[in-house]
Structure 1
Amino acid sequence: MTDAPLLSVLVPAYEYAEGVERILQALEPLSPDVELLIFDDSPAPDMAGLIEAHASRWPDLRYRHNPSALGGPLGAGNNWNALLDAARGRYCLLMHHDEMPLGREFCSRLRAALTDRTAPEVLLLDVVLLDGALRPLRRHVPAWLRWSVVRYAPGYLFRRNVIGPTASLVVRREHFPRFDPSLRWLIDVELYVRLCRAGLRWQRLAGLEVGSIQRSDGTITASLSGELHRIDAAERVALRPRFPRDRLWLGAPVGGALRAVEQVLWLSLRVVERAWTRLVRLKPRS
């Protein structure tokens, strides 16, 4: 392809071929103006067969096994940045192997939104949490809360990641910040805060959904395991000088009382949300 693709779908893979295959199947059939890049940081290149099986149906697919091509794994943040640097599309969507597009019209609706003459620099997609059997559990957070934080209080993301996974954002390539590889736990929300404050045009495409599979293995959370509390605390301290206006949500001691009030409000919101979800499920169809 000589012209730049409309969209680059970027998949950082690590020892979870099942998740990569699920993404491939959910995206097919794909328009020829969409490219797919899979950079595999796994010790062994066990996804090569899977990629070969799908290659004939993808006009623009690139797979790289980092340890074989580069002499060693890159690590999560560097792998994500390598995908962004290699992307050629006008827009980028970074989708991890425990995420997936939802709905048969996902690609066609996304393409229509990106080709509209009023297309924004950042498109915010809805997030649905899924169990291991891919059954919907609930929405990540209410849409009004996500949108309010993005527009008015991005620093709150350091307290609650209400945006969700990276797959919920489609960003014009030249505006997609690079991840800070020195971070492990707050690596995505730190980027989100910078992106929210970059003065870009955002748009929420209601009903266009990505699923986030709530797995206990193969995730960053699982890999950090018992170190999570220590790593989270250390990263918050390190980020305070860079984000002085967000010290409250980064855990500065002076904000303890306000965070306690926020915790009560957050738990109350969750209770109301769960009750509403049960009510809607039990409501008889007319």
Structure 2
Amino acid sequence: MSTPNLFRVAAVQTVSGTSLEANLARAGALIDEAARGGAELVLLPEYFCLMGLRETDKVALRERDGDGPVQRFLADAARRHGIWLVGGTLPLWCEDPARVYNTSLAYDPRGERVARYDKIHLFGFTRGSESYDEGRSILAGTQPVRFDAPCGPVAMSVCYDLRFPELYRSLARGDGVNLILMPAAFTYTTGQAHWEILLRARAIENQCYVLAAAQGGRHENGRRTWGHSMLVDPWGEVLAMLPEGEGVVSGTIDPARLAEIRQNLPALRHRVL
């Protein structure tokens, strides 16, 4: 009996700034690094193309679905390297002129788009002088999304979604998912408190790998993000991690490891609700 193939994945960590051109250049260099390292799927972080000085900056940069500088960049990079490439998030057009969809796009090795996910849960946080309200400039999506890759079913999600386990349960119905993608720009405050434990929890309860690509450092706009991009296995073990700064985290999706854990502890089959 043949053994299912191992599948190499990588998460890119950036400290994106206010220049689209500079951000795409840095993302391109890190995608190159990941591909040279053997990655077959590469995940970029949330806001990889822009961390503006104001929330409205992303609205000015929004693209129509199907074409634009960022979408062309992603398709070209996927095709050039022959990889699956998931573009963390980019701002896409919506009916509201003051807002955008915060959208994650997945491309196959031919550069063809295979999935679009609009972030469903919008971050809001206030503590002292620190305050965020994504709803001011982002329109929430409504549909959970997954796609099939050589490693099996892949669940898409973005940042604040991580706090809502019911999203992943809905995506894992039926045959489950083998990989959860988590592009993010967690704040330093919330990331330090909850990032790793939430990633490990999602991996454990869904018995799958979680690949998290984060923003990680001090940005031009003064915001500090937590970083700690990582790959977590279905037992909740952190296989690779980058604390802060630009770089690449890589590892392997092992079908035998997935099968072993699900056979030894058949929690997915024991679900009642």
When the two structures are superposed, what TM-score results if normalisation uses the length of structure 1?
0.29
Higher helix share: 1
Larger Rg: 1
When the two structures are superposed, what TM-score results if normalisation uses the length of structure 2?
0.30
Higher strand share: 2
